[in-house]
Amino acid sequence: MLGRFWRAIALIYQFKKTLFLWLCSFALLFSCAAPIKPQGMTVQVKRVISGQSLQIFNSGGDDIPSLVRLIGIDAPDLKQQPWGINAQQRLQQLIDGHPLLLEFDVQQKYCYLQRCFLLAYVWRDDILLNEQLLKEGCVLFSPRSPNTKYNQRFAYAQEWARLKGKGIWNPENPMRQTPAEFRSQYP
């Protein structure tokens, strides 16, 4: 009688172990799947305004602003030399006439001084331009709630640029004021 009991316990243990291994295998299989492509609006850029903003061709809707501000970054002011112009030129190079995908987060629009901007993560093919500008040290990470979807990626990108001494983090010519400090000093 006790032998049957222990055999039953062993079978139950073996079943649980096999089930656990199968579940782990499926979890591993699905975690290796291709990442989900971002969803959004495809646009063509009319001009690059700064290292953080674009003007797009209006898609015909009156309520859709034709200005786009990249979420999660703060670019040096254009008067903040040489970093402001460098950020603007690098964004222009990254776009290079290609169509872009605008991915939106919680807050999709921002209005300031009678100008409204679409707030977006900007993709060119598989490159998240917001993140790329951070990796190259062209802009600063500027987290703003409620748009926080890629904050972790952006923080890592900025830290990488800082450690490598890229762009604004170059120890031989660092940017000494944040864009916000510069704008408050030189309105």
* Residue-wise pLDDT tens digits, 28-75: 555 554 556 778 999 999 999 999 999 998 765 555 568 999 999 999
- In the prediction, which pLDDT does 2 show? 60
Residue recorded with tokens 């061709």: 57
Q: Is the pLDDT of residue 164 over 90?
A: yes
Instruction: Tell me the CATH class for 41-185.
Output: mainly beta
Which pTM does this prediction carry? Answer: 0.77
- In the prediction, which pLDDT does 23 show? 58
Map residue 161 onto helix, strand or coil: helix
pLDDT, greater one: 92 or 7: 92
pLDDT band at 13 (very low <50, low <70, confident <90, very high): low
Q: Longest C-alpha distance within the chain, in Å?
A: 89
Mean pLDDT estimate for the chain: 87
Where do the domains of the chain lie?
41-185
Phi-psi region of 113 (alpha: psi -120 to 50; beta: other; left: phi over 0): left
- Is residue 142 a contact partner of residue 72, using CB atoms and an 8 Å limit? yes
